[in-house]
Structure 1
Amino acid sequence: MPKAPLTILLAAPRGFCAGVDRAIQIVETALARFGAPVYVRHEIVHNRFVVESLEAKGAVFVDELDQVPDGVPVVFSAHGVPKAVPAEAERRGLFYLDATCPLVSKVHREAERHHLDGRRVVLIGHAGHPEVIGTMGQLPDGAVLLVETVDDVARLEVADPDNLAYATQTTLSVEETAGILAALQARFPAIAGPRKEDICYATTNRQQAVKAIAPQVDALLVLGAPNSSNSKRLVEVARGAGCARARLVQRAGEIDWDSLADVRRLGITAGASAPEVLVEEVIAAAGEHFTVTVEQVRTAHEDIVFKLPPALAGTAAAGGS
């Protein structure tokens, strides 16, 4: 039986963003500079393939600093950490490298600025996500109010509605955030915002690319981890843009190709923490079931690169970075 034809529309941009690329480079460079083991607090990025690849090179992933022995380097994940974490590392005299994405660090600094100016900060984000925990942990307990939905905005209780500011998790859906932000601004007209949009360029670009291909395909696969906020948002964006059969998969081995037997046009993208090798793996697997033609649909070009910490550039001595 001849294989049925399948046109794959590849969304671009997709996959690694500059912050993820930098975080992985920090771990790899630390391993090359200091040797194994290099400890990493939490998953460096939300992708098991990446984590397991780094483990094979000598990285050791732990949940908290009390699992890190003295005398070894430790890296903080790209999602950012509460201030208490580097403070504890310094108390113990640990050499640490902070792989927090610079765009997340920007949100941290803005929250601090608003707090110093006497404003209470409202953070739009998902409870329990490491980035949200890190951002809320920049300020004293109670200084940040978390909202996840428009209904949360209606329930907010604030003592001084004229002294509020908002910030957002960097990996949210643009549309979802817009609705919450509109509710905040309607209820608190004086609320202050960031000098520049908090949702990062990579999140926005990947969502726009998915919007471009979703109406043109019968099904769409997002390569990413189930705990990856930006990857889950891509599934939601695809469905909202017209592709009801959008789903999240981690590897090609998870795909039920029989359920896609009727598909003639398949969209593929990858979350910001998913490497391109996983996309290539899916395309190769598709070729076992279909006669595949691949077309790339590009909606933006990315050339942003974030520098490594000075300690890895040879310009800093011991201590933190």
Structure 2
Amino acid sequence: MNAPFQSSGQSNGASLSGSRSGNTDRPALTLLIAAPRGFCAGVDRAIEIVERALEKYGAPVYVRHEIVHNRYVVEGLKAKGAVFVEELDEVPDDAPVVFSAHGVPKSVPAEAQRRKLLYVDATCPLVSKVHRQAERQIEKNQHIIFIGHAGHPEVIGTMGQVPEGSMTLVETIDDVAKLDFGPEDALSYLTQTTLSVDDTAEIVAALERRFPQILGPKAEDICYATSNRQAAVKQIAPASDLVLVIGAPNSSNSVRLVEVAERLGTDARLIQRASDIDPEWLVGVGTVGLTAGASAPEKLVREVVARLSEWREVEERTITAAEEKMVFKLPRQLTE
């Protein structure tokens, strides 16, 4: 495939991870690396919260749910003394606990307070913004239609911000058709922050057609990092024979990147580590696109580049869709 794309203009010959070793038997491989990729500000903040909690309180520090959806990150924090659990009843009374970046229902901090646990909330500020919007919409006596994926911790956390029965989850356009509301009902909608931009726009359009009175948030709920990473994949996928997405199967934003590439007609694979790559995937492939979900560290990107360079003569090109400078403050209890 040779569709046009926008490049940073740099063919990074100085960083080919040893591909210029003098062995000319390997076929050439053009590697289009998406930017932005990997860690977003919310993930950076969440990981630093756990690390600072370990420094301040000492190990073990308990973390309710995976702090972010990436096995490499979780295992690294375990090695430093973090203990990951699914519920608060697994946390001893005298141990500090961190809530994951995905957010938690209101019942979780309430239970922590009841037990007088020392807790730190690592919820991404952009998820917290959706929580506040939900509260405001309920105060206005609106029923909330929430667009998201059932069972995802962010969805569970957001639906847990409001009284039971005051929010209805929809995942698809078909779900919109099944909603049992009328023109007299006061409705609003919110969305999970890590959804497909295109799919969500279609669901929102279906909601607005069906319920003209429905009110949306002032600004899109899908976070900047999710949107930017999808935009970058849209630039590299048409020019690629294969797109590799580094991320976990339970990482919503990573799975969406695979879907974005596939929607553009490009073969795409979700991998967690370089060892997941099957050399057979590269047969007949001249250009590979590479990106990483928002919870995958840059170290895993370089690991993949090194792996590809073992088989092919790699030329890297960085394709930039957006610049990111977002930084989120840490909780005051860890900075004082």
Give 2:268's aligned amino acid: A
Could you tell me which residue of structure 2 aligns to residue 38 of structure 1? 61
Superposition deviation, residue 71 in structure 1: 1.1
CA–CA separation in structure 2 for the residues paired with 1:160 and 1:24: 45
Alignment partner, residue 5 of structure 2 = none
Percent identical: 65
Please tell me whether the aligned partners of residues 161 and 188 of structure 1 are also in contact (alpha carbons under 8 angstroms). Answer: no
1:82 aligns with 2:105: yes
Structure 1 runs not aligned, ≥5 long: 315-321
Say if 2:244 and 2:289, in contact at 8 Å, map to a contact too: yes
Q: Are the aligned partners of 2:182 and 2:211 in contact in 1 as well (CA < 8 Å)?
A: no
The answer (yes or no) to whether the contact 2:244–2:291 under 8 Å persists in 1 is yes
Please name the residue that 1:125 is paired with.
148
Structure 2 counterpart of 1:169, which letter? Q
Structure-1 residue corresponding to 2:206: 183
Cα distance in structure 1, aligned partners of 2:285 and 2:300 = 21
Which of 243, 254, 262 is 1:231 aligned to? 254
Task: Tell me the residue number matched to 1:249.
Answer: 271
Aligned residue type for 1:276: E
1:263 is the counterpart of 2:280: no
- Aligned twin of 1:284: 306
The structure whose RCO (Cα within 8 Å, separation 6+) is larger is 2
| Counterpart residue number, 2:316 | 294
- The TM-score normalised by the length of structure 2 is 0.92
Paired position in structure 1 for 2:46: 23
Query: Where in structure 1 do 4 or more consecutive aligned residues deviate above 4 Å?
Result: none
3-state DSSP of counterpart to 2:52: helix
> What letter is aligned with 2:270?
L
In the alignment, structure 1 residue 143 sits paired with structure 2 residue 166: yes
- Residue of structure 2 in register with 1:222 after alignment: 245
Question: Residues 161, 127 of structure 1: CA spacing in aligned structure 2 closer, same or farther, 3 A cutoff?
Answer: farther
Q: In the alignment, does 2:222 pair up with 1:195?
A: no
Other structure's SS at 1:7 match: strand
Structure 1 length-normalised TM: 0.96
Cα distance in 1 for partners of 2:281, 2:132 equals 47
1:99–1:64 distance in 2 versus 1, CA, 3 Å: same
The separation in 2 between residues aligned to 1:55 and 1:84, in whole angstroms, is 26
Q: After the TM superposition, which residues 196-211 of structure 1 pair with which residues of structure 2 at under 5 Å, given as runs?
A: 196-211=219-234
Amino acid across the alignment from 2:272: Q
Give CA deviations for 1:197-232 in whole Å, capped at 9, x if unaligned.
100000000000000000001101000000000000
Task: Write the letter of the residue equivalent to 1:130.
Answer: P
Say if 2:35 and 2:322, in contact at 8 Å, map to a contact too. Answer: yes
SS in 2 for 1:87: helix
1:108-147 deviation digits (Å, cap 9, x = unpaired): 0001000000000000000000000000000011110000
Alignment partners' CA distance in 1, 2:114 and 2:225: 35
- The alignment partner of 2:188 has SS state of strand
Alignment CA distance shift 1:225-1:161 (3 Å): farther
Distance 1:190 1:83 in 2: 29
Matched residue, 1:7 = 30
CA displacement at 1:258 relative to structure 2: 2.4
Over 3 Å counting, the alpha-carbon distance change for 1:161 and 1:232 in structure 2 is: farther
Q: Any unmatched runs of 5+ in structure 2?
A: 1-23
What is the distance in 2 between the residues matched to 1:257 and 1:34?
45
Per the TM alignment, residue 195 of structure 1 is displaced from its structure 2 partner at its CA by: 1.4
Q: CA deviation at 1:161?
A: 4.3
Write the distance in 2 (CA, Å) between the matches of 1:263 and 1:19: 35
Contact 1:165 1:192 in 2 (8 A): yes
What RMSD in Å do the two structures reach over aligned CA positions?
Answer: 0.9
